[in-house]
Structure 1
C-alpha cells in the first residue's frame, strides 16, 4: 500500500493514509497531573524520519488512549489535518493530525526498521538563558546526570495544589551544569537504579525532551512535566561524544536528601471589613492598612489613553523597554518577555468613584481570557478590544491597597491585590449621591472617550459622543445671505414701542409702507426686494461683508425689514 509522507499532508486531505511510529505519548491532566485527561498528545515519525505532532481530543480519549502505545508502528487513516498549535510545540511544523470519530488505527505487522526511535532537537546549555519564559516550543537537552534529589512536595502558588517534585543536575560535555526539576508523575517515575551502579560509577548520558526553561529567584532551570520524557544512554550520534569524553572516568551521582521541613506557625489572614470608597479615599496614604481593605464596587468605565497590557520581563516581572529588536529589560539585560494584563479603570459603589489598577492573573480573572488570546483580536482603530470593554458594569469584591501614585498626588488610586467574589454584569452602574459629589473622580484622563468605552460595553455598536464630534468638526463658511441675516436685527423688533431706544431705533419710511399696503401680495414684494439684496451681496467679496450691524441708511435703501403688516399700519395711523 502506498502511504502519504507527513510533509505532504495538507488540510482537506480526507483520504490520506499514513504509516508512522509513535515515538512519544503523554496525557495532559492539568497543571499538576491531578485531573482527568484533557487530551492525549503524540509525536509520530514516518519511515523517512519526518515528524509531526498528533492529538487525541478529550472526547476521543476513551476510544484511542489504550489502543495506541509508544514505540509501536500504526497505519492511520480518516483523520483531520489542522493547523499546528502556536504554543507548546513538541516538534516544528505547520500542520498537525487530529483524531476524529471516523479515524481508523491499525497495528502494522512486521514493519521495516527504518522508522526512527528518537525525535529531538537539541539545545546547548549556554543558549538556555535566552529561552527563559519561552513557551512556543519545548526544549530538548543532552547531558550527564551528576545529582539526583529526593522527592519533595511543594506548592507552586496559592491557587495551585501541592505537587511532588524532584531536582536533578545535568552536565554537558564542556562541564557546564544546569538544574532540571521534574513535576507530578514525572518526579515519581524517575529512577536510574537500572542503569547506574555506584561501584562502577559510569557516566549516565541522558536525553531529556519536552522541557521548558523557567526562572525562580534569579536562577534559571529546566522544568519537566507531563510532556517530558527521558532516554538513558540513547543510541544517537551526539551521545557518542559524551561516551568518548567520559570513557574510563568515574562520574559519581550525588544523592541529595530533601531539606528538613520548617515548622511554620499557621497565620490566620486578617479579615478586612467591607469599606465604602468614600471612606477609603479619606484615609491618609501613610495610615492605610498594610493588609489592604475590602470593598465591593462596579467597574464604571475604563481610563482612556492607557495601555491595557505591558511586556513583562520573565526574570524580574518589571516592564520591558521598547527596543529595535522588540523589548528589553535593562535591569536583567534580558530580551525575553511575556504579555501581561494592566487594567486601569474607574470603580464606583454609589458613595464615590476611585481609580483602580490590576495586573497579571487578577486582570485575566476579570477579563476571563488569556492576554495573548485577546491581543489577537485587536483592531487597528479600536482603543479597547471587545473583551476589555466588556468588563465595564462588572461587580466585584476586591481587596485593595493604596498605590504608589497616591503618596505624591491629590487623587487617590488603589491597587487590586486579590478578588474575593465576582457578581457578573450589572444592569446599572451606581452613581455617586449628591452629598458625595466632591468625591467623584475628576481628572483630565476621564474624558469623553471613557464614556464611549462605557457605551461600547452596554451596546452592540459603538457611537461617537456628540461632544467629540463637535470638537473635531470645523465650522463651515457662512454664505453671504447668512451673514446678512446674522447681522440684521429680527424683523419683528425693528420699530416697535417696546424696542424704541437710542441704541435700537432705526429710520422708518412710511411712504414705502403705503406702497406695500396697496400691493396684492406685500410679502411677495418684500421677498423680491430681499432677493435683490442677496444677489448684490453675493457679488461682493468675503472681505467686504459687514462685520457689524448694518447702518440705518443701508436698511432704508434696501426697503423695510418688517414682516408684520399690522405693525406698519399702526405706525402709519399714528
Structure 2
C-alpha cells in the first residue's frame, strides 16, 4: 500500500498560529503518529489516563494530547506507531512558550505505515524555555531523505460544514475544550451547553449571609460545574437557561470541591459579575446530555454516596410532603417516586425543593436521572440533588426500548425492591447441622427469590483471583472507603481528608469446591485475613517487593478447607441474571470440634434405634 500524503508544514503553522486563524483551525490536516505515552492521573479528583502523542507532518514533529474520549483508539490499538490520520477537530494551548496540540476528533487513514520523512523539532514561540518535547528517534545524518511523493504541498480545503473551534475574526478569544481548562490559563472561552441549573439557595452563618446557584456545563470533551454567588446571581440567574448553549469567558477556574459536586472534573468555575456570557445561536456541534446508565438491579453494586445515571419508568408518584432541616430549621419539600426497569427491580427516588413541588406527571413516563446520589437507607435508594438533573421522556434509544417493554409487559409485572432484598442486619452463623452441598445450593435456587437466602457450606479453595485482590482504603475508623492518591497523600472524599498512606483491605473472590461441584465465593477484609494469615497491607508490601514470595502465598491458599456461612442473593450483570454468594463468616476447620460433632451425631443415631 502506498503511503498516505501528509499535510506539509502543518506543525510549523500550528506552532506559530494565532487565535484568529480561522482557515487553519477549520482545516483537517493529515499527520503521522510517531509515539504514544500514557500519562497517569496527576492528582486531584481526576482518575482518567491521558495519552501524550507526537505527531509529524514529514518535516517537523509537534507534541500533542488526545482528548480522553479518544483513549479507546490507543487502548484497542486502532491507532499505533506510524499510523496516519486526518485530524478532524482540534485546538491548541500555549504551555510555557510551546504550542500543545489537543486532538478532539480524528479519522484513521492508514493504520500500518512506514515512517515518512525525517521530522525534526520546532523552536519554541518567542525563544522561551518550556517543557522538553519528547524527541522521536531520527535517522542518521547520512540517511537518504524520504521521497517527496509522501507529502503534499497544500493543506486540504476547509470543510464548509465545520464550525470554528477557535476565535473568529469578530474578536472572540480562543474556544477551548472544557477538559483543557486549568487555573494556569487566563484568556479562554468555552462553548458549552447548560445541562442542569439549580434553584437559588441562601446561607447565613457567622461570616454573613449570601446566595448562590450552580450550573453544569458540557461540551464534547467533558463537563464542568460553575457557581455564581451574590451579585453574580442577580446578573445571570434569569439569563442562563437550561438546555441552551453559551460562550463563556472571564470566569475563575478553581479546584473542585467534590463534596458539593457530582461532576467528574478536577476543576470548577466561579462566575463573577465581570464574566462574559453570550448565548450561541448555533448549537449543532455541542452535544446534549451524555449518560452512563446503571440498571436498577445493578445499583446494589454501587457504593453508598456515589453518583450515577439511571433510566426507568415511573410506576408510582408519591404525595408532596416535607421535612424540617436541622441546619436551617426550614421545611424542605420532598416527593418520592417508584421507578422500575426491565431488570424487574424497583427503586425509590426522592425529589427535593422545587423539583418535588413542580413534578405533576401522572402518566408513567420514562425518566432519565443524571447524577443521582445513591443511598442505603433500608436498601438502595436514589436522591436527586441540586446538581442532578432529570429528563422526562428523552429522545434516546434506551428510553424508547423501556417504553415499548413497559407498555407490552412491564405494567403487569411485580418488582423486587432493594429494600426487601437487603439483609435485615445481624450476622449469619455457621451451623454444622445445616451444611448444604454446593450442588444442592445451586439446585434449590437459593438467592433467586425476592429475599436474601443464607446457608452453611464446607468447601475447599481451588483458586484465588489475583486481580483486584486488595484496594487502598481510608484509615479512619469505620470508613473503609476507597481513597485516591494525590501526589504524596491519599484522599478520602467521604471524610474530606487526606492521609499520608492508606490502609489496604481485602476484596477477595475465590473458586471453592466440594464433592458435588464448584462455586465462586466473595468476601472482604476479615475473610482475606483468615485465608492469607496476614493483613492486606503486609500482602501488598510482599507483592511489591518479592513476586516469588507473593506467588507462593497465593499457591499456599489452594487446597485448604473451611466452613463458610454465606448469603446468596440475585443481581443483574450485563443483562444476565446471576446469583452471588457472599461470605459472612469463614472458619478454619477445628478437627477436635468436628470429631466431637460426629461422635455426638453417631450416639444420637444409635440411641434413636
TM-score in terms of structure 1 length: 0.40
Report the structure, 1 or 2, having the larger helix content: 1
Report the structure, 1 or 2, having the larger strand content: 2
The structure that has the greater radius of gyration is 1
